Amino acid sequence: MAFQKLIRERFFPHLWCPGCGHGTVLNGLLHAVDELGLDQSSLCMVSGIGCSARIAGYVDFHTMHTMHGRALACATGLKLARPSLTIFVPMGDGDATAIGGNHFIHACRRNIDLTAIVLNNRIYGMTGGQYSPLSGQGILATTAPYRSIDPAFDVVQLALGAGATFVARTTAFHVKEIGSIIKKAVQHKGMSVVEIFVQCPTYFGRKNKIGDAVQMLEQYRDRTAPLGSKKLEADPSLIARGIFKDEQRPEYCEEYAKIIARAQGKEA
Amino acid sequence: MEAVSINERWCKGCGICVAFCPKEALVLEHEKARHIPDRCIACGMCELYCPDLAITVDTSKKPARAKKEVA
C-alpha cells in the first residue's frame, strides 16, 4: 500500500510505545483512505489531547490539534464552515467520554456528518495510567491501587442513546474490520461513532497483569464475537463487535443550509 | 525485491507481526522483526498488524508455490 503519501514521514518513528494499538488504528485508517481514493486536501483530522490525539500529527491531511475533550466541538465548527470536508475525529476514552462527554452526546444528537473514532484503551496512558470512565470495575490503575469501583460506560449504547446514526465497534486485533468499518463510517452521511478497543501494554496491560501487546490482542480475539454470530449467542458474556446501527436521519449541516436559505428568502 | 520490506528504523520490536503471521515467516532478532522469504505467502497481514507502519507487503509478489499451498 502506498501510505507514504498519506503520512508526514519526518515525524516517524512515532512516539507511541512498542505494541501500542493506536498505531494499528492509524494503519487501518490509512488503508481505508487509500482504498476509498480520497483526495488528501478534502480531508481534515481534528483531535483533542492524549496519546490517541497524536494521530493527527502523523497524517498528511489538514489537521487540527485542539483542546482536551473539545475535538468534536472544534470539528462541529469546522464542518459547519466547510461542509465539503470529510472530517475524522480520533479521541481517546477519556477525551471522548470524560472531558468531552458533553460534546460527544451532543454531536451524536445533532447528527452532524463527522467520523468519530473512539480509541478505547481503558486508561489515561499519556499522563501515567489513571483510570478512565471506560476502565470498568475491578481494574487496577495508578489512581485505583485497590481496584476501581466505577462501572464503565458502554460507548456503543451511549452513542445509540444519544442519536448517532452509524455506530460500530471493533478491536485492534481485527485489522481488516478496522479498515472496512472506517470506510463505511466515512461514506455514511451523519454522525458516525466507531469504538475500537486498543491495547495499552505499558499501563493497562502491565498494571492489570494481562501481559504484553500480543496477549492483550489475543484477549480481544477470544473475548469478542461478531454481532449475530453463533459464538455470541452461545456465550453472552462475550463483547459484540460489528455495525450496531446504520440509518439515515436529516444531517445537521444540510438542515443548517436550509435555515440560511430561509433567512435569505431563497427558500424554494 | 522481496514481497515484504521492513523499515528497521521504525520497527520497535513489539512482536505482534511475529505472533500473528499465519506462516511464521517473521522472527524477532535483536528486537527487530526479520522476514524469512521462504515461508512467506505475501498475504499482507503483517502490514495491517504493524502498529509502527514499519512493514510494507507487495501482494503482487505472491510466489506461485505458496499460492498452491494455500489452496
What's residue A267's pLDDT? 72
Q: For residue A204, what are the domain limits?
A: 15-227+235-263
What's residue B71's pLDDT? 47
A28 in contact with B, Cβ within 8 Å: yes
* Residue A63, domain CATH: 3.40.50.970
Summarised one tens digit per residue, pLDDT across range A176-222 is 999 999 999 999 999 999 999 999 999 999 999 999 999 999 999 99
Residue A254 in domain: yes
The confidence band for B70, taking pLDDT boundaries of 50, 70 and 90, is low
Residues of A in contact with B14 (CB under 8 A): 18-19, 201, 212-214
Summarised one tens digit per residue, pLDDT across range A73-109 is 999 999 999 999 999 999 999 999 999 999 999 999 9
pTM of the model: 0.93
Assign A163 to helix, strand or coil.
coil
Q: Taking residues B34-47, what's their average pLDDT?
A: 93
Residue A258 in domain: yes
CA distance A12 to chain B (A): 7
Summarised one tens digit per residue, pLDDT across range A43-63 is 999 999 999 999 999 999 999
Q: Taking residues A113-125, what's their average pLDDT?
A: 96
Residue A161 in domain: yes
Residues of B in contact with A26 (CB under 8 A): 51, 53
Chains A, B: CB contacts within 8 A come to 69
Summarised one tens digit per residue, pLDDT across range B41-57 is 999 999 999 999 999 99
Whether residue B16 and residue A19 make contact (CB cut-off 8 A), yes or no, is yes
Residue A10 in domain: no
* Residue B52, domain CATH: 3.30.70.20
- Cα distances from A147 to residues A44, A134, A143, A204, A215, in angstroms, run 39, 14, 9, 12, 21
The confidence band for B65, taking pLDDT boundaries of 50, 70 and 90, is low
Counting Cα atoms < 13 Å in the Cβ hemisphere of B6 gives 22
Whole-number Å distance between alpha carbons of B68 and A140: 49
CA distance B46 to chain A (A): 10
Phi–psi pair at A164, nearest 5 degrees = -60, 145
pLDDT of residue B69 exceeding 70, the answer is: no
What's residue A84's pLDDT? 96
Q: For residue B40, what are the domain limits?
A: 4-70
Of B10, B16, B54, the CB nearest to A217: B16
Whole-number Å distance between alpha carbons of B49 and B18: 10
Residue A54 in domain: yes
Number of structural domains found in chain A: 1
What's residue A168's pLDDT? 98
CB A197 within 8 A of CB A220: yes
The confidence band for A149, taking pLDDT boundaries of 50, 70 and 90, is very high
pLDDT of residue A21 exceeding 50, the answer is: yes
Of B9, B14, B48, the CB nearest to A18: B14
Summarised one tens digit per residue, pLDDT across range B1-23 is 688 999 999 999 999 999 999 99
CB A46 within 8 A of CB A74: yes
Residue A6 in domain: no
Which regions of chain A does DSSP assign to beta strands (E)? Answer: 43-47, 62-65, 86-92, 115-120, 166-171, 192-197, 224-226, 239-246
CB A48 within 8 A of CB A228: no
pLDDT of residue A2 exceeding 80, the answer is: no
Number of structural domains found in chain B: 1
Of A112 and A2, the one with more pLDDT: A112
The confidence band for B68, taking pLDDT boundaries of 50, 70 and 90, is low
Of A3, A26, A213, the CB nearest to B16: A213
Residue A38 in domain: yes
Whether residue B51 and residue A3 make contact (CB cut-off 8 A), yes or no, is no
Residue A216 in domain: yes
Assign A252 to helix, strand or coil.
helix
The confidence band for B60, taking pLDDT boundaries of 50, 70 and 90, is confident
Assign A254 to helix, strand or coil.
helix
pLDDT of residue B59 exceeding 50, the answer is: yes
pLDDT of residue B63 exceeding 70, the answer is: no
Q: What percent of chain A has pLDDT over 70?
A: 99
CA distance B65 to chain A (A): 23
What's residue A3's pLDDT? 80
